[in-house]
Amino acid sequence: MSDEAPRVGIVLVSHSVRLAEGAADLAGQVSGGTVRVLAAGGTEDGELGTSAEKVARAVAGAEAGAGVLVLPDLGSAVLTVRAMLADMPGARVVLADAPFVEGAVAATVTAAAGADLKAVATAAEEAWHARKL
């Protein structure tokens, strides 16, 4: 795996601007900063909620040529992401069912190692089984 190969991008969709940005910051730092991790938090005017336009912009920004993994914070963000994906046919985007912080960190670290989109999605979803204690 060449270091120049494009990495899978990560989009963190949260109802909160600050939660999405904080998780993106954490995942970016833990993985060494080589992966595009974009936050899509809050509504267009920065209130609590989700925005399909924000998610679409983040997906476009995270795409480096290897696809994009989208992680929602809560189930209700899934509706927004699904609506957005329906408007982007052909986009190489996978929606992951994973715990938000752990999934973001696991996915970003796996992407930084050069893994493909499927492996990055699997890393995020395996985060359900990671114990802290």
Partner 1 sequence: MPASSESITLTGDLHARPAGALAVAAGRFAAKVSVTAGSKTVDAKSVLGVMGLGATSGQQVTVSADGPDAGEAVAALIAILSEATRVGG
Residues marked active site are found at 15
DSSP 8: P
Residue 95 to residue 72: CA distance in whole angstroms: 8
Task: Pick the closer one to partner 1 by CB: 59 or 105.
Answer: 105
Contact predicate 10/69, CB 8 Å: yes
Contact predicate 128/106, CB 8 Å: no
Q: Of all helices (H) and strands (E), which one includes residue 34? A: none
**Helix or strand or coil: residue 77?**
helix
Shortest distance (Å) from residue 42 CB to partner 1: 25
Read off the tokens for 23. 């998780």
Contact predicate 84/56, CB 8 Å: yes
Task: Pick the closer one to partner 1 by CB: 30 or 78.
Answer: 30
What is the binding site for partner 1 (CB under 8 A)?
1, 26, 29-32, 102, 105-106, 109-110, 112-115, 123, 126-127, 130-132
Task: Pick the closer one to partner 1 by CB: 59 or 107.
Answer: 107
Shortest distance (Å) from residue 102 CB to partner 1: 6
